[in-house]
Structure 1
Amino acid sequence: MSIPALLADPAAWAALATLIVMEIVLGIDNLVFISLLSNKLPPEQREKVRRVGIGLALVLRLGLLSIIAWIAGLVQPVFDLGLTGALDARGAPSFETAFSVRDLILIAGGVFLLWKATTEIHHTIDRDAATEETSGKTGAALSFGMAIVQILALDMVFSIDSILTAIGMTDDLPVMIVAVIVAVGVMLLAATPLANFIAANPSVVMLALGFLLMIGAVLIADGFGVHVPKGYIYAAMAFSGVVEALNIAARRRSAH
């Protein structure tokens, strides 16, 4: 469909609005990871790594849209273990034994998130180890480079999930492009306030790391064919966030 026709089509506008909301919601995972990782760097490097990380997310998403036919093919199985999984209440296999490229990427990304969140939880608890790792000019430079590499790896995982979601909601490439650009723009605007809020509230750091653990587990489950509705995940995150906000408000009130 041509762009003038899309502009005059109410269904296209409805699809665009829905897709923007979905892309923003899906970008929360990416944003939490970037915020946590950037806060591990020296203050003068944090803004730069956030902008680079989110810029890479935009480049990856637009790049993947340019090869959308190949992306759609990532859901085709590439091998099958030939195993029979446990059956659920309906008599269907409770997990898949045939894996696509998308499944493998999700599993790898989930394992990485579990490892990263567990490591960061250890560093948060063991302050002396964390201080030693971030001290010194050479260590800071290495941390910046590693931050970019880790953000790029997770950007790829989240970008593929984002584009596959977009493909499932509309067939119009211009709608997908606009939705991705708007969603990444919102991420860019929200990155620094979110990172500053996390840095100013130490208890939120542990909550965010818990979110990463949950997201990693969900990615692995999705890779094995156990699809957890994302609405449940984000509802749990929102509920936890509200409870933590009440705790923060209570602590501030008691401090005065």
Structure 2
Amino acid sequence: MELLSLDNLFTLAMLTLLQAVLGFDNLLYISLESKRAPPHRQALVRRIGIGLAMVLRIGLLFLLINVIDMFKTPWFDLHWTGVVEGEFNFHSTVVLLGGAFIMYTATKEIWHMMQVQHLGQEDRKPKSVAGLIFWIVLMNLVFSFDSILSAIALTDVFAVMATSIFIGAALMVWLADGVADFLEKNRMYEV
């Protein structure tokens, strides 16, 4: 199959659109986390975090393509008729843990915003650049499972999938400063 075929180009466009839509939560998280760095390092934290996450996301894609059967094979079944029925596998565990972390982060941010309004000031200490980059990369990987699994479902051409991840990361770098500035000026949209 030719790499630049109309079919592959259409799939690339569709995957890039999916990367943009499904990656918006990543961009919000990156913007919020990077605000915890010293002000002059925030843009650097965003760019390094997105860049490292892109490289690791492509690596994760390669790994998942090679171990996709692990996602399909259930670890155990739940059969409580009328209440809960289903199967647990690796994918459902990742989604469950990712959702729990999102709930924790949102609750923590809402609590912090309520304290800031109550005290009338923000007293957060800046965090280390390396620590922030670590969390940005880790959460970007957790949040990216949906887009990676969508890519695997749409095509079997690795180059098309990797290119869409690269384009999605480039869009995130391009938009990250603007989103961070918007959230700084409009705190009500942070959570």
Same fold (TM over 0.5): yes
Distance 1:177 1:75 in 2: 20
| Structure label with greater radius of gyration | 1
**Aligned residue in 2 for 1:117:** 106
Cα distance change, pair 145–118 in 1 and its aligned pair in 2 (3 A): farther
CA contact (8 A) 2:65 2:152 kept: no
Counterpart secondary structure, 2:144: helix
The alpha carbon displacement at 1:51 in A equals: 1.0
CA contact (8 A) 1:57 1:156 kept: yes
Distance 1:50 1:34 in 2: 6
The alpha carbon displacement at 1:107 in A equals: 0.8
The alpha carbon displacement at 1:78 in A equals: 4.3
* 1:90-130 CA-partner distances (Å, limit 9, x unpaired): xxx6x52x211111111111111111110011111101498
Distance 1:201 1:162 in 2: 28
CA contact (8 A) 1:60 1:159 kept: no
Distance 2:67 2:171 in 1: 24
Cα distance change, pair 42–130 in 1 and its aligned pair in 2 (3 A): farther
**Aligned residue in 1 for 2:40:** 44
* 1:38-83 CA-partner distances (Å, limit 9, x unpaired): 1233211211111122112201211123224335234223421443
Distance 2:152 2:121 in 1: 42
Cα distance change, pair 129–79 in 1 and its aligned pair in 2 (3 A): farther
TM-score normalized by structure 2? 0.88
Distance 2:81 2:138 in 1: 30
Alignment map for 1:187-226 (pairs within 5 Å): 187-205=172-190, 209=191
The alpha carbon displacement at 1:191 in A equals: 0.5
**Aligned residue in 2 for 1:217:** none
Q: Which moved more, 1:116-125 or 1:41-50?
A: 41-50
The alpha carbon displacement at 1:10 in A equals: 1.2
* Corresponding residue pairs, total: 189
One-letter amino acid of the counterpart of residue 110, structure 2? I
Distance 1:126 1:154 in 2: 25
Distance 2:6 2:25 in 1: 30
One-letter amino acid of the counterpart of residue 174, structure 1? A
Structure 2 unaligned blocks of 5 or more: none
Structure 1 unaligned blocks of 5 or more: 88-92, 135-139, 210-256
Distance 1:155 1:74 in 2: 21
One-letter amino acid of the counterpart of residue 169, structure 2? V
Name the structure with the higher helix share. Answer: 1
Of structures 1 and 2, the one with the larger relative CO (CA 8 A, separation 6+) is: 2
Distance 1:132 1:71 in 2: 46
User: Which among 156, 161, 180 is matched to residue 146 of structure 2?
Assistant: 161
The alpha carbon displacement at 1:169 in A equals: 0.7
The alpha carbon displacement at 1:141 in A equals: 3.9
Distance 1:119 1:173 in 2: 38
* 1:131-176 CA-partner distances (Å, limit 9, x unpaired): 3442xxxxx244x444223222211212322211100011111111
CA contact (8 A) 1:64 1:71 kept: no
Runs of 4+ in 1 over 4 A off after TM superposition: none
**Aligned residue in 2 for 1:10:** 6
TM-score normalized by structure 1? 0.67
Counterpart secondary structure, 1:16: helix
Q: Superposition RMSD on alpha carbons, in Å? A: 2.2
